Structure 1
Amino acid sequence: MIVVAGPRQVGKSTLVRRVLEGYPSAFVAADQPLTELDPFAEGLEGVSTSFGIPGESPTADWLIQHWTQARAKARGLPEEQSFVLAIDEVQKVPRWSEVVKGLWDADRAAGLNLHVILLGSSPWLMQKGLTESLAGRYELIPMTHWSYPEMQVAFDLSLDEYLYFGGYPGSAKLIREEPRWRSYIRGALVHPNIEKDILQMTRVDKPALLKNLFELGCSYSGQIISYTKLMGQLQDAGNTVTLAHYLNLLTQAGLLTGLSKYAGEQHRQRSSSPKLNALNTALISALSGYSFAEARADRSHWGRLVESAVGAHLCNTATDNCQVQYWRESPDEVDFVLNDGRRLLAIEVKSGTTYATPKGLGVFSGKYRQARQLIVGEGGIALPEFLAHPAGHWLE
């Protein structure tokens, strides 16, 4: 099986639909209410076309019936052809991984030429099912927020526009109408991510706290802030364990992450204050109240956007074996630290027009002599060039 997983609105469904054009295939979505009949089943004798009670959410029976219809289609094709079944938002089907495992294993035993693509926008639920039931049966293709070169080629965004409006392809056509653009980001991206993907799919005892943490985290993107300070600014904040758990949920949803401090010892990293970083700068801009022109005019705010864009790019493109962290031993600080277990890279972001050697890089390199240094911006790698390569490229 092929598994395509990633945040909402990054083009997973569009990509798969385009790939399937011209192939014998069916694309079904588990996030749509049930209908009485499905046109995909027309002409299939002996195959049930009932999908449950109209208006209700898809069930395991819904999944089984679509799979059964795909089998019938596959059997009707010549031997040299295969049929492809793509299931969008599969994690919304109860017990989906157990059902898929049984169906997939039965098809392999029968030698049926049926290919399956699973898509999902709740990575933690996808991962749970994949590791518990489908181990060894799938190849994962992760999709994430669009990079600057992708947005530039597809929508002709300038660097400044990308830094402010971010990497959501669906919102690009609205950037000339900023009020509509903000409404789209909030209504079509933030709200569904939190209300549908997190609150409906996993247990959250304090949903208001989760929403407030996301909004506060976006305002603090690019800054190191202790959980204690976060608790002081959030109502009904509970304890640090709750905040850390909610921050992890926001990370898995592709919204906001908290980078840990590089310290060499694992226990010191776990207990460190997080450096908050929005995973798409559109989230910062949509909630900030700054217009594009106002954001560019405020050097302090623009500098945080630049640093957040670098952090988001690193987090979105880092592979599983590459950690993105920060380092600070007051008063010295390094914006980002990349570590793959063998190599260590300290990165400093310079968004101003004047250049001075960052003291933190020298202090860090003196403490960790195997570390290499990289400056992004004035006096170093140009920001467009940096954003054109994944995190691992800079470790090589």
Structure 2
Amino acid sequence: MIQRSLMPHLQQRLKKGKAVILTGPRQVGKTTLLRAIQQQYEGKTIWLNCDEPDVRQQLTNATSTEIKALLGNADLVLIDEAQRVKNIGLTLKLLVDNLLERQVIVTGSSALELANEIQEPLTGRKFDFHLYPLSVEELVNYSGALEEKRLLERRLIYGQYPEVVLNQGEEDILLRNICDSYLYKDIFTYQDVRKAEVIQALLEALALQVGSEVSYQELAQLLKIDQATVVRYIDLLEKAFVVFRLRALNRNVRNEIAKIRKIYFYDNGIRNALIKNYQPLNLRADTGALWENFLVSERFKSLHYAQKQVNSFFWRTAQQQEIDYVEEENGQFKAYEFKWNPLQKAKFSRTFTENYPVLSTAVINSANYLEFVLR
């Protein structure tokens, strides 16, 4: 088993009198992680799979008496796919408030319904965690840094979903299955979005614009829908853990462009599956975009698993001065340029370095990237 970086963080939150909520896209290993916790737990556990209709029925609008009867003498309660239970937040509130000796861990493959259901009832009663596709750190710990460097091109092309990583030679079939069966299924289930072809076209357009500024207006014109619908669909795709947004830094300098954003995919393989392109890097025109998407998504994983809070941006001016990625922590800035080729150089704009308290600058390439993505 590939050890997940979240495991020690989850274990540290047990027996604190609060629910542990684990969200993430389908097929990233949430159930496997739950099984690992169950195996290591010293005490009686109960597993409630909410894909089962009778489990859903027993957890829906249950009283504290009914919950206690269902759990028996188990002191660790594992609830998988909890977003499928109506009013699950109220059920969890009763469990946490009335059965203080029980520890509950909840997974949800989509934040859409789950977030709506649990945020208010569980205010102050939960710890939130997010599980991503496999991180570079997890893969380095599994197979070693040398092996991961050898496999870097495959990671850029096929991504890091666990099933894809562990089944070399079947990557395109597995990625197609994830895209067709899981990727944005929850959007249609919970948000009454009926135009699958529009979502598909939007994702393809975003996949082709990775690393570039995204215009909602241009997307609306391309898809022949209104701009408000584009914004809503991107927000839903973000909540479904398909894409995420990076905003522009705009604070001190004249001519900085503020109202633009970049949109990245959580996984390179998903991005390439959407445009049906698995060509090797030497035959591609989008290597730079793949490299940027890979590094930004890996950095987000690393920060999350380290439980480190920073502000993340890119930076650009009207004069086309730009920096690929900027982090702000405690009022100081780190600036990064991304170049696939180790021989490529990059200059950092004096407009930026003279107007911001810059702690460091670095060019991240295929030779030194581990320093950037490992904790």
- Category of TM-score, reference length = shorter chain: 0.7 to 0.9
Contact 2:179/2:270 (CA < 8 Å) preserved in 1?
no
Contact 2:332/2:357 (CA < 8 Å) preserved in 1?
no
Contact 1:377/1:383 (CA < 8 Å) preserved in 2?
yes
Q: 1:243 aligns with which of 207, 230, 244?
A: 230
SS at match of 2:245: strand
- CA positional deviation for 1:100: 1.8
- CA positional deviation for 1:191: 3.4
What is the aligned partner in structure 2 of residue 311 from structure 1?
A: 296
What is the aligned partner in structure 1 of residue 16 from structure 2?
A: none
| Percent of matched pairs sharing the same residue | 21
Partner Cα separation in structure 1 for residue 70 and residue 103 of structure 2: 9
The letter for the 1-side match of 2:115 is Q
- CA positional deviation for 1:203: 4.0
Contact 1:260/1:325 (CA < 8 Å) preserved in 2?
yes
- CA positional deviation for 1:97: 0.3
What is the aligned partner in structure 1 of residue 48 from structure 2?
A: 28
What is the 5 A alignment of 1:1-396?
1-21=19-39, 23-30=43-50, 32-34=51-53, 60=60, 67-74=67-74, 83-108=75-100, 113-154=101-142, 157=148, 158-177=151-170, 181-189=171-179, 191-195=181-185, 197-204=186-193, 206-234=195-223, 236-239=224-227, 241-264=228-251, 272-291=259-278, 294-298=279-283, 300-319=285-304, 321-329=309-317, 330-340=319-329, 342-358=331-347, 360-370=348-358, 372-377=360-365, 382-389=368-375
Partner Cα separation in structure 1 for residue 352 and residue 268 of structure 2: 28
Contact 1:120/1:126 (CA < 8 Å) preserved in 2?
yes
Partner Cα separation in structure 2 for residue 120 and residue 63 of structure 1: 22
SS at match of 2:362: strand
Which ranges of structure 2 fall in alignment gaps of 5 or more residues?
1-18
Contact 1:227/1:243 (CA < 8 Å) preserved in 2?
yes
Partner Cα separation in structure 1 for residue 23 and residue 257 of structure 2: 27
SS at match of 1:308: helix
Give CA-to-partner distance per residue, 1:126-155, whole Å, 9 cap, x none: 333333001121222332222123234436
Contact 1:279/1:316 (CA < 8 Å) preserved in 2?
no
SS at match of 1:382: coil
Partner Cα separation in structure 2 for residue 66 and residue 347 of structure 1: 55
SS at match of 1:2: strand
SS at match of 1:103: helix
The letter for the 2-side match of 1:104 is V
Label 1:123 to 1:154 Cα distance change in 2 as closer, same or farther (>3 A).
same
Give CA-to-partner distance per residue, 1:206-243, whole Å, 9 cap, x none: 54322321222122211112122222322x3211x322
The letter for the 1-side match of 2:39 is E
Contact 2:156/2:291 (CA < 8 Å) preserved in 1?
yes
Label 1:277 to 1:185 Cα distance change in 2 as closer, same or farther (>3 A).
same
- CA positional deviation for 1:387: 2.1
SS at match of 2:214: coil
Contact 1:97/1:134 (CA < 8 Å) preserved in 2?
yes
- CA positional deviation for 1:60: 0.4
Partner Cα separation in structure 2 for residue 172 and residue 142 of structure 1: 20
Label 1:62 to 1:136 Cα distance change in 2 as closer, same or farther (>3 A).
closer
Which ranges of structure 1 fall in alignment gaps of 5 or more residues?
39-50, 53-57, 75-82, 390-396
SS at match of 1:246: helix
What is the aligned partner in structure 1 of residue 6 from structure 2?
A: none
- CA positional deviation for 1:341: 5.2
TM normalised by structure 1 equals: 0.77
Partner Cα separation in structure 2 for residue 221 and residue 272 of structure 1: 17
Structure 1 vs Structure 2 CA RMSD: 2.9
Structure 1 runs, 4 residues or longer, greater than 4 Å off: 61-66, 268-271
- CA positional deviation for 1:335: 0.6
Partner Cα separation in structure 1 for residue 237 and residue 265 of structure 2: 10
